[in-house]
Structure 1
Amino acid sequence: MNQHIYLVEDDPNIRNIVQAYLKKEGYQVTLTERAEEAWDNAQSQQPDMWILDIMLPGMDGYELCKKIRQVSEVPIIIISAKDEEVDKILGLELGSDDYLTKPFSPRELVARVKRLFKRAEAQPVMSKTKQDVLEIDQLKMDQAARQVFWKDEEIDVTTKEFDMLEIFAKQPNRAFSREELLTIIWGDDYFGSDRAVDDLVKRLRKKLDGLPVETVWGYGYRLHIDEEKS
C-alpha cells in the first residue's frame, strides 16, 4: 500500500503543485484547506505523514500539530511563510519533525518527505524475549509490544514518551543531559531547542502520576530508584 500523506494548505496553487510532485513519487495524497476538516477525517483514516501550513482559516497549523501529537507520532512537516527563528522553534517544540519556509522547492519538500519516511522505517522490529520486559519498582515496560504499565495499570504513551521511559528504565539513577536526550530521541539532525525534552518529561509525569523522574538542575533528568528496588 502506498504511504498516505495529508496535506493541509489553503493556497490552491501550492496544494496542486505539491500534490503533483508527491503523487509522481508514488504517495497517496489527501488535500484539505482547513485544519478542522483534516482532523475530523483523520479520526477514521490516520495518514502516515502530515504536511501542515501554519496560517490557516480557523484552527491554525500549530494547534493541529499539537492535537496530532497528543495521539500519534507520525512524521509532521510544517510549511510556512513565517521565517522567524521563534516560529520554527515553536513548531518543532509542538512536535513537528521538520520546518520548511515558503517559497520552497517542491523537490526539496519531496526529499524531506523521503528522509522522514526512511527514518521511521529504520526502527528495528525485534522478536519478543524475556529481556524485552523491563520491571523497575512500579514501572513495567514490554519493549517488544511497546506497552507501559504503571502501578499495574496500562498507560497509553506516544512513541517518543515510550522511548524516553525506556532510556531511563535501562539506566536508572543515571543523569541524562537535555542535549543527550534530544539527540537520542529526536535524532542528531533535529532542529529545535531542548525545551522539547522538558515538555516530554512533563507529559510523562502527568500520565504516570508519581513517576520518580527527577530534575537535575542545570543539566537534565534521571529516573531515581532506590537500589534495593531496582
Structure 2
Amino acid sequence: MTGNETRILIVEDEPTIARAVADRLAAEGFGVDVAADGPAAVERARAYEPHLIVLDVMLPGFDGLEVCRRVQAERPVPVLMLTARDDETDLIVGLGVGADDYVTKPFSMRELVARVRALLRRVERPRPGIPEAADVVRAGPLEVDQRARRVRLDGREVHLTPTEFDLLTCLLRNRGAVLTRAVLLEQVWDWADASGTRVVDSHVKALRRKLGQGLIRTVHGVGYSLDAAS
C-alpha cells in the first residue's frame, strides 16, 4: 500500500491537533479522514475502512479504549494511540483492548509519521523465519496459521492484533531461545533503539491474558522465550 491507497482515520477531539496530524499525513501521501468523538469514530471506521487508526485516548462520547475495543471486534486494524498520560496502567489497558503502539503527547510529527510507517510495514510485509510450507505451526494447544494470520487455542479462535500476532510468531520461530527486549523491538516493531521496552512488556501481558500465563516465559533481566516444550 502506498500513497492514497492507504487510508488513515484520525480520531482526535482537539481541532488544532486533528488538523495538524491530518495535514501532515496528507502531505506524506496518505488518504485521511477525521472523527472527533467516540461514536463518530466507530461509525467512520466502519464506513471508511481505514488501513490504520490514529486514536486519542481521551474523547467525548466514550473514550479511545472503548473505540478500540469496538473497532477491533468488527475488523482487525492497526491502532496507534495518542495519550497525554505516560501511565503504565493506561498503556497496558490500551494495548490489551487492541492498540498496537502508542505515542505520548506532546509528540513530534516526525515521530508520529515514523510510527505510522513502521506499523504499516509490519502489516504489509511477509514475516521471515518460518518456511512457506509451514502455513500452520503448532505449539501444544496453540495453532498458528501463518498465511491467514489466525490463531487458535484448544480449537477456539483467539483474536490478536497485528502486533500481537507478529510478536507471537517471532517468539514461535525462535522457540526455546531467549529474545531480549531490544531484539524484539527490532524484529517486531522495526525500532532501532531500545527505548520502548514497556511496549514489549505490555504486549507480552496482553498475549498472556489471551493465551494463558504458561506459554511465554520471562527470563528476568534478559527477555522472553516461548517454551520449547509447548
TM-score after normalising by structure 2: 0.69
Query: 1:135, CA displacement in angstroms?
Result: 2.3
Residue number in structure 2 paired with 1:225: 228
For residue 219 of structure 2, what is the aligned residue in structure 1?
Answer: 216
Q: SS of the counterpart of 1:130? A: coil
Q: Over alpha carbons, which structure has the higher Rg?
A: 1
**Equivalent of residue 103 in structure 2, options 96, 99, 105:** 99
1:161 aligns with 2:156: no
Task: Tell me the CA shift for residue 161 of structure 1.
Answer: 1.8
Q: 1:190 to 1:41 in 2, by over 3 A?
A: farther
How many Å apart are 1:207 and its aligned residue? 1.8
What is residue 179 of structure 1 aligned with on the other side?
Answer: 182
Q: Supply the distance in 2 between the matched residues of 1:101 and 1:137 (Cα, whole angstroms).
A: 41
Give 1:124's aligned residue.
126
Distance between the aligned counterparts of 2:76 and 2:15, measured in 1? 27
1:102-117 alignment runs, 5 A limit: 108=110, 112=114, 115-116=117-118
Displacement of 1:130: 2.9
Deviations 1:103-146 (A, max 9, x none): 966xx5895487347624651389x9432332233222221222
Unpaired runs of 5+ residues, structure 1, are none
Give the alignment of 1:130-169 within 5 angstroms. Answer: 130-169=133-172
- Please state if 1:8 is matched with 2:18: no
Distance 1:96 1:209 in 2: 20
Opposite residue 125 of structure 2, the aligned amino acid is: Q
CA RMSD of aligned residues (A): 4.0
Give the aligned partner of residue 203 of structure 1.
206
- Partners of 2:172 and 2:20 in 1: how far apart? 46
The separation in 2 between residues aligned to 1:31 and 1:203, in whole angstroms, is 28
Shift of 1:153: 2.8
Aligned length: 220
> Which one of 51, 54, 60 corresponds to residue 54 of structure 2?
51
- Structure 2 residue matching 1:99: 3-state secondary structure: strand
Partners of 2:224 and 2:111 in 1: how far apart? 35
Unaligned runs of 5+ in 2: none
- The answer as to whether partners of 1:155 and 1:207 remain within 8 angstroms in 2 is yes
Q: Is the 8 A contact 1:88 1:192 kept in 2?
A: no
- State the TM-score, normalizing by the size of structure 1: 0.69
Percent identity between the two aligned chains: 29
SS for the counterpart of 2:8 is: strand
Aligned AA (1:99): V
Q: Answer yes or no: is the 8 Å Cα contact 2:91–2:202 preserved in 1.
A: no
Distance 1:4 1:182 in 2: 25
**Against the structure 1 CA distance between its residues 185 and 103, is the aligned structure 2 distance closer, same or farther, given a 3 Å change threshold?**
closer
> For 1:15-49, what per-residue CA distance to the aligned partner results, in whole angstroms no more than 9, with x for missing partners?
45654555566543322221332134324543122
